[in-house]
């Protein structure tokens, strides 16, 4: 009997390790409203990881942290990744493809991880030193996982059960397309112009790109503004920002001013955003 119970216990515990468990970690915000989390990755505690839904791979880390997390990197499949940001900065970096990573005790399979090269603003200080230790992007959803950025409870959730998220809020399902820049939706300006904008948790403000001198060279709240209406009928004063590079094939970013007081749910099949409670 004891032998049977021991065998049963081993069988159950062996099967339990394959059961997906939710990951939930607190979000803090820096002075530019960049959402930051901490995670244990391959046994190393990494703090100040920014959440960027405009980034396509699972993680981006400076080389020192990258080498710490993947010490046998040279044995992995690696490719060179080329990109350009909205400021016209081109970069080339190395990506490790199809790796398994342990995050907060859970195994994430077939992840792509890049050596971080800065894009946009807010990643480095005036001395050229990183002020973040990494970036988490949409690639973390590989394997039908659901990414939840909860600005109400200030938490990042990665789950496989949508029902755990939906209770207690009204939701709007966004019409969207997925591109290499992230999740893109259509918005309408007060002058009835349509813009294709990326939902970007890494952006402190919503901005519309313009090739004219009407836009600011540096993003600030003193920039000229244009009123836009999002698909869920939210009005925002988007900043006008000069982007004259024709390789940028979208029209702007929906940032923190849109997402604050919301919950953003991204699945393989739909994008949900909670309606603000003050609209109920």
Q: What is the pLDDT of residues 64-82, one digit of tens each?
A: 999 899 887 654 555 555 4
φ/ψ (deg, to 5) at 13: -70, -30
Q: What is the pLDDT of residues 37-64, one digit of tens each?
A: 999 999 999 999 999 998 889 999 999 9
Kindly report the length of the chain. 280
Query: How is 57-87 classified by DSSP, letter by letter?
Result: SSEEE-HHHHHHH-TTGGGS-EEEEEEE-TT
At residue 227 the predicted structure's pLDDT band, cuts being 50, 70 and 90, is very high
Tokens of 268: 């393989």
Average pLDDT score over residue span 101-121: 88
The larger pLDDT score, comparing residue 275 to residue 47, is at 47
Query: How is the chain classified by DSSP, letter by letter?
Result: -HHHHHHHHHHHHHHHTTS---EEEE-EE-TT--EEEEEEETTEEEEEEEE-TT--SSEEE-HHHHHHH-TTGGGS-EEEEEEE-TT--EEEEEEEEEEEEEETTEEEEEEEEEE----SSSSB-TTS-BSSSEEE-GGGGTTT-EEEEETTTTEEEEES-THHHHTTS-EEEEP-EEETTEEEEEEEETTS-EEEEEE-TT-SS-EEEESSTTSBSS--TTS-EEEEE-TTS-EEEEEEEE---TT--S-EEE-HHHHTT-EEEE-SS-EEEEPPGGG-
- The pLDDT of residue 85: 46
The larger pLDDT score, comparing residue 213 to residue 184, is at 184
Q: What is the chain's mean pLDDT, rounded?
A: 83
CA 22 from chain center: how many Å? 17
- The pLDDT of residue 232: 93
Q: What is the pLDDT of residues 232-241, one digit of tens each?
A: 999 999 999 9
At residue 253 the predicted structure's pLDDT band, cuts being 50, 70 and 90, is very high
- The pLDDT of residue 128: 79
Q: What is the pLDDT of residues 142-165, one digit of tens each?
A: 888 999 999 999 999 999 888 878
| Rama region for 93: left / alpha / beta (φ>0; ψ in -120 to 50; rest) | beta
Between the alpha carbon of residue 103 and those of residues 25, 75, 86, 98, the distances in Å are 11, 21, 30, 15
């Amino acid at each position: 009997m004891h032998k049977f119970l021991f065998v049963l216990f081993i069988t159950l515990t062996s099967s339990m390790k394959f059961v997906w468990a939710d990951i939930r970690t607190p979000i803090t915000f820096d002075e530019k409203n960049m959402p930051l989390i901490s995670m244990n990755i391959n046994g190393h505690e990494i703090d100040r990881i920014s959440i960027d839904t405009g980034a396509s791979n699972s993680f981006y880390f400076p080389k020192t942290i990258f080498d710490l997390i993947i010490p046998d990197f040279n044995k992995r499949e690696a490719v060179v990744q080329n990109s350009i940001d909205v400021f016209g900065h081109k970069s080339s970096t190395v990506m490790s493809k199809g790796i398994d990573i342990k995050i907060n005790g859970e195994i994430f399979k077939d992840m792509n991880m890049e050596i971080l090269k800065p894009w946009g603003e807010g990643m480095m200080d005036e001395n050229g030193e990183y002020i973040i230790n990494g970036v988490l992007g949409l690639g973390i959803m590989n394997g039908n996982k659901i990414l939840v950025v909860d600005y109400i409870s200030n938490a990042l959730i990665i789950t496989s059960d949508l029902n755990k998220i939906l209770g207690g809020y009204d939701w709007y399902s966004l019409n969207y397309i997925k591109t290499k820049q992230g999740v893109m939706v259509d918005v309408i300006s007060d002058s009835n112009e349509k813009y294709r904008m990326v939902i970007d948790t890494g952006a402190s403000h919503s901005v519309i790109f313009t090739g004219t001198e009407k836009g600011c060279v540096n993003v600030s709240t003193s920039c000229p503004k244009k009123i836009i209406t999002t698909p869920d009928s939210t009005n925002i004063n988007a900043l006008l920002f000069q982007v004259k590079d024709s390789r940028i094939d979208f029209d702007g970013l929906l940032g923190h001013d849109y997402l604050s007081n919301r919950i953003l749910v991204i699945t393989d099949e739909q994008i949900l955003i909670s309606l603000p409670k003050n609209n109920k």
